[in-house]
């Protein structure tokens, strides 16, 4: 039960995020004032494996969670007692990793007798944009609002609605196979460019010719206008803006084979294995022009496909506002392309700042604020949901 003296208009919320490979905690006041945001990356633990290892992720979260939360409170000049609520990511994500944050948040809420709020990670990514818009003093939102969440696990389009303090979401498009970030990561792995792939591909792409390799549209399957008759009508109607990125990864692999690039990849793998955290210069030294062109062309194809399918959705839904968020939204070329095409449609596009694009806990604390206002609190019994849907 909420103590009667809580001032609902000024809520200090501690957010906790452990859905994947970042242990994060943040303190946000009333969904708009960022007081602290701490993110502990597990990069060095997973790097030798070229991707996130779920068991390792859970173990690393266990090690990091208490110091990360303590630092978030210290950075905010705050303490446990002054918090009004504890918010935590419920899903989607890795079950073992999610459970670390959830167990910690439950224990904290119980010990402090504070309300507990369960947040969907994808809603967090959307609220990262809202938090920063409010910080800039922009409280006016024009609806319909379309949000593209483009991360390592998701490429989802949502039509978002707000009624009083509550937000609801309709999923109108999603990837049918690989997420966009997953494609960046898999292509980076196959070219031995390190993990996570997105940031390094972005840096290398600036040194290549993006028009050198043409990826046929067929590899990025088109938007299915005639949805299968086997699909239930409602589901088919609701999701007509799907993406698909497993084809382009296969196309990159085929290109590598046809152009005999395997030896170079092997040499690069061995050279970079000797360096703890390879810099752009380290990687550039072991990349041929052909590799740089391939990487730049891949990034261009991804970005153009994401933007053109999102614009299809904009036109069909008459959306006035577009949010592009999630780890891949940190990509500068993606931002440039979206700004250009959204500008042509007369639609306002907003991105989170780069550090708020990738996983963090400020977005979780911000997304919790509307739930705090509507007293949408979680019980001590709630658990992790690895495939939690956003509605």
Please give the residue ranges that form the binding site for ligand KG4 (CB under 6 A): 20, 151-153, 181, 184-185, 196-199, 202, 326-328, 330-331, 358-359
> Please, how many CA atoms are within 13 Å of residue 300, restricted to the half-sphere of its CB?
17
Which of left, alpha, beta for 31 (phi over 0: left; psi -120 to 50: alpha)?
A: left
CB of 265 to ligand KG4, least distance (A): 19
328 touches which of Zn ion, ligand KG4, none (CB within 5 to 8 A by kind)? ligand KG4
Stretch that binds Zn ion, among 150-158, 173-181, 241-249, 294-302 (CB under 5 A): 150-158
CB of 145 to ligand KG4, least distance (A): 20
Q: What are phi and psi of 304, to 5 degrees?
A: -65, -40
Q: Can you read off the two tokens belonging to residue 282?
A: 């380290």
Q: Which of 86, 359, 366, 378 touches Zn ion (CB under 5 A)?
A: 359
Q: Which of 18, 36, 90, 151 touches Zn ion (CB under 5 A)?
A: 151
Q: Can you read off the two tokens belonging to residue 330?
A: 């940190």
CB 148 within 8 A of CB 180: no
Give strand pairing partners of 86: 14, 116
CB of 254 to Zn ion, least distance (A): 30
User: What CA–CA distance (Å, rounded) separates 113 from 317?
Assistant: 44
247 touches which of ligand KG4, Zn ion, none (CB within 5 to 8 A by kind)? none
Percentage helix, strand, coil, to 5, in the chain? 50, 20, 35
CB of 91 to ligand KG4, least distance (A): 11
Which of left, alpha, beta for 2 (phi over 0: left; psi -120 to 50: alpha)?
A: beta
CB of 151 to ligand KG4, least distance (A): 3
Question: Looking at beta carbons only, is 98 or 330 nearer to ligand KG4?
Answer: 330
Question: Looking at beta carbons only, is 30 or 151 nearer to Zn ion?
Answer: 151
Question: Looking at beta carbons only, is 198 or 370 nearer to ligand KG4?
Answer: 198
């Amino acid at each position: 039960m909420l103590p009667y003296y809580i001032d609902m208009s000024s809520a200090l919320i501690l957010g906790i995020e452990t859905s994947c490979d970042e242990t994060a905690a943040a303190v946000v006041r009333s969904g708009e004032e960022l007081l602290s945001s701490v993110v502990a990356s597990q990069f060095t633990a997973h790097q030798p494996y070229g991707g996130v290892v779920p068991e390792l992720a859970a173990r690393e979260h266990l090690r990091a969670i208490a110091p990360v939360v303590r630092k978030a409170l210290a950075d905010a000049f705050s303490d446990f007692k002054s918090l009004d609520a504890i918010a935590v990511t419920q899903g989607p994500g890795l079950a073992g990793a999610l459970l670390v944050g959830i167990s910690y948040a439950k224990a904290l809420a119980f010990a402090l007798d504070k309300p507990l709020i369960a947040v969907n990670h994808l809603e967090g990514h959307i609220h990262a944009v809202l938090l920063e818009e409010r910080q800039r003093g922009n409280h006016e939102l024009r609806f319909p609002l379309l949000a593209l969440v483009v991360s390592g696990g998701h490429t989802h389009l949502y039509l978002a609605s707000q009624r009083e303090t509550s937000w609801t979401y309709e999923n109108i498009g999603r990837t049918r196979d690989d997420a966009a970030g997953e494609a960046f990561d898999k292509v980076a792995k196959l070219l031995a460019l390190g993990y996570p792939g997105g940031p390094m591909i972005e840096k290398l792409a600036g040194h290549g010719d993006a028009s050198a390799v043409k990826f046929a549209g067929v590899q990025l399957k088109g938007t299915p206008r005639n949805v299968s008759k086997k699909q239930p009508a409602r589901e088919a109607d609701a999701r007509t803006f799907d993406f698909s990125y497993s084809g382009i990864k296969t196309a990159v692999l085929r290109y590598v084979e046809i152009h005999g690039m395997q030896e170079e990849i092997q040499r690069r793998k061995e050279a970079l294995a000797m360096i703890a955290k390879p810099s752009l210069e380290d990687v550039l030294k072991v990349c041929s022009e052909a590799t740089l062109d391939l990487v730049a062309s891949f990034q261009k194809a991804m970005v153009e496909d994401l933007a053109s399918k999102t614009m299809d959705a904009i036109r069909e839904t008459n959306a006035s506002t577009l949010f592009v968020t999630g780890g891949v939204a940190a990509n500068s070329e993606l931002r440039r392309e979206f700004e250009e095409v959204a500008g042509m449609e007369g639609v306002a596009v907003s991105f989170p700042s780069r550090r708020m694009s990738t996983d963090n806990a400020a977005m979780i604390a911000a997304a919790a604020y509307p739930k705090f206002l509507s007293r949408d609190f979680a019980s001590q019994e709630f658990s992790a949901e690895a495939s939690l849907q956003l509605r």
